[in-house]
Amino acid sequence: MRLTKEDKDVLIYSVLMAVTIVLFALTFQIKQRGASIMESPRLLPFITEGCMFLLSFAGITQSLMKKGRPTPAKIKGSFLAAMSDKAVRQTMLAIAIVAVYILLGIRYLGFYLSSFLLVLGITLGYVRRIKPYWAVIIALAVTGALYVIFAVAFGMRLR
């Protein structure tokens, strides 16, 4: 049993709503400036998050009205079907690589070293028929460009 279009819509809009709620909570970390909310840097994020919440709520409601009912059996069937597809596996691998880069790489290896490893891994993994030394040169060039942009042009010190 696989997910219908309406089932997928319910899941997508639910994830969007969860992300919106997390962003809303994180917006309170922005320092309040000015006497009112109209003068605060929080205003634009609050407006954007409000629109995201309303759109995701409308999407969930519309999908449920069209009989979108994602059950665990349907989710499992669709997950197994998706994992048998090579393109989906490659996309999930790319998402996992970027997540590791953002969550672990930058924190423990620093921005430039983790960026070098990310570009090197992507170049070697996804660009077919490339010599390894060219992948290293490309990774060095991209990392050098990042250094010039952030450290030299913007004067930002990134670990």
The gap between the terminal CA atoms of the chain, to the nearest Å, is 48
Task: Please state the domain extents for the chain.
Answer: 5-83, 86-153
Compute the distance between CA of residue 36 and CA of residue 151 in angstroms, rounded to an integer.
36
Tens of pLDDT along the chain (159 residues)? Answer: 677 788 888 888 888 999 999 999 999 888 877 777 777 888 889 999 999 999 999 988 888 888 878 888 777 777 777 778 788 788 888 888 889 998 899 899 999 999 999 999 889 888 888 899 999 999 999 999 999 998 888 888 776
Predicted local confidence at residue 1, as pLDDT: 65
Predicted local confidence at residue 138, as pLDDT: 95
Long-range contacts of 148-154 (CB under 8 A, 24+ apart): 150/111
pTM: 0.57
